[in-house]
A and B are shown apart, each in its own frame.
Chain A
C-alpha cells in the first residue's frame, strides 16, 4: 500500500522516501543523489545522513535524538533544521510517511 502524499512533517512523523525517489551514491561523480521523475537532486551531507535514518520506523524525533548525540549539538536546533529539510523534500513530492493503521 502506498504511503500518503503531501505530508506535513512533525516530530512524530515517521518519514521515508517513496519508491520513486531513490537515494543513491553516484560512483562516477562521487556524490550522493536522489533520483526522481525527470529530476536529480543533490542532497548535502547532512540531508544524506538524515535520509539514511528515515526508514519509516524512526520518527523525526528519534532521528534528531541520534544526530544530537552524535554531534553533541542542541536537540531543538537539530530538530528544527531536520523538519525544514524534510518538509522541503515533501513539498517537492519526494517524501512520504508510515502511518498507524486506523482500521
Chain B
C-alpha cells in the first residue's frame, strides 16, 4: 500500500501513478473551500488576501451546495471547509451534510472559537470526517495576543477536547514565527495531551498579511535550525503516536519550494465569492483574471482551460534562470505569488531560489529584520489592518 500524497502544504495531490500529471492536469483529489473571509481572529500572518471578500459577495448556501455536487461529479474526493472562519457561516452544517451526501470526505479547518459542543456534534452527525484546529501558542498570554482575540486559547483547548470526545480525528495546526518558536517543544506536548492524531508545524509563508508583518515575524536562522532539529527528533520519538507534518520556511533555503505542487498541477481553491484560484494567495498577483463558479463555465473547464490556470502551468512560461534550469520540473520555479510580491513579476524566479539575482539582497534584509526590535503586529481585518498598540493590546 502506498501513501500517494505529499506533505500537507501540498497534500492535495493528484493520484499520480507512473504518469506525469503535468501532461494530464487531472482533477485534484482535494479542494480548499474558503467559504467566508469573516473571522473573529486577527492573526497577522493570515493566508487570506489583504483585500478580503465582504459577506455580501459570498456564495449563497445553494451556490455552495451546487459547487459541492459538481466537485464530486468531476472526481474530487476531499474538501476542506476553511475561511476566514468557516463556522462563521450559519449554513455550515447544511454544507457538510451536502458534502457527505455527494460522497465527499470533509475536513474542517477552524480557529474553533465560535464552536459550541452542540454545533460540533451536529457537524459530526452531518458526516464531518476530520477537525483541524489552529493554535497560536501554548499559553493564553502569547496565543491570544497573536490572534488578537481574548479568551481564544482557552476556548480552543475546550473544543479540541470535545472533538476527541465525539470520536473525530484531530489535527493541531501551529503556525510558527519568531515570537512563538521557543514554544515548539510545548506545542508538541500539548498535541499529545489533546490526543491529536496529527500536528502541522507550519512556518509562516511571507505573502499578503504575513509580508506586511515580516519584520515582526521573521525567525532567525538559529531559530529555524533548532525548529527543524526539534521536529525531526519528535517525529522519531513519536512514530505511530503523532504524525508531524512540517512546512519549512523558504526564506533561508537555497532551493525554492514546489509551491502548490506546481501552478495548476494538483491544487485549486474556491474563494468566498466563488473565484476558482490556483492558490489561496493568487489574487495578490495583479493582471490575472480569475473565473468564478458564477460564470457560465464549469469548474472542470476553468481548471483545464482558463487563462489564469494556464498562464504559469508547466514550464513554457519560464524565463532564465528557470528556463534552462535542471530543477525546473522539480520546483517549477518556486512560488508565483512570492515572485510577484518581491520582484513585481510572477514569471520571475522566486527569490527563495539561490539562482535568483534578488536572492542575496532580499534574504539579507530578512535576516536583518529577524535580528531587529520590531515586534508589533499589524492585525488582519476588513479595514486593511490595525497596528497593535505599544503596550501589546
Does A pair with B?
yes
Residues of chain A whose beta carbon lies under 8 Å from any beta carbon of chain B? 1-2, 5-6, 18-20, 22, 24, 26-29, 31, 33, 35, 37-44, 47, 85, 88-89, 91-93
Inter-chain pairs besides A33-B77, A38-B5, A40-B4, 19 sampled, C-beta below 8 Å: A6-B240, A19-B167, A20-B168, A22-B129, A24-B77, A26-B77, A28-B74, A28-B75, A31-B15, A35-B129, A38-B245, A39-B3, A39-B11, A40-B15, A40-B30, A40-B78, A41-B4, A88-B1, A93-B197
Closest to A40 in B: B29
The 6 A-B pairs with the shortest beta carbon distances in the complex, nearest first, are A28-B75, A2-B167, A37-B130, A35-B105, A20-B169, A38-B11
Closest to B198 in A: A37
Chain B neighbourhood of A27, CB < 8 A: 75
The reply to whether B1 and A28 form a contact with Cβ atoms under 8 Å apart is: no
Chain A neighbourhood of B191, CB < 8 A: none
Chain A neighbourhood of B239, CB < 8 A: 91
- Dominant SS at the B interface? loop
Query: Could you list 28 A-B pairs, sorted by A, with CB under 8 Å?
Result: A5-B197, A6-B241, A26-B15, A26-B75, A26-B77, A27-B75, A28-B74, A29-B15, A35-B78, A37-B107, A37-B129, A37-B132, A37-B171, A38-B11, A38-B130, A39-B3, A39-B11, A40-B13, A40-B30, A41-B2, A41-B3, A42-B15, A44-B1, A47-B1, A85-B1, A91-B239, A92-B243, A93-B169
Residues of chain B whose beta carbon lies under 8 Å from any beta carbon of chain A? 1-5, 8, 11, 13, 15, 26-27, 29-30, 74-75, 77-78, 103, 105, 107, 129-130, 132, 167-169, 171, 197-198, 239-241, 243, 245
Closest to B240 in A: A91
Chain B neighbourhood of A42, CB < 8 A: 1-4, 15
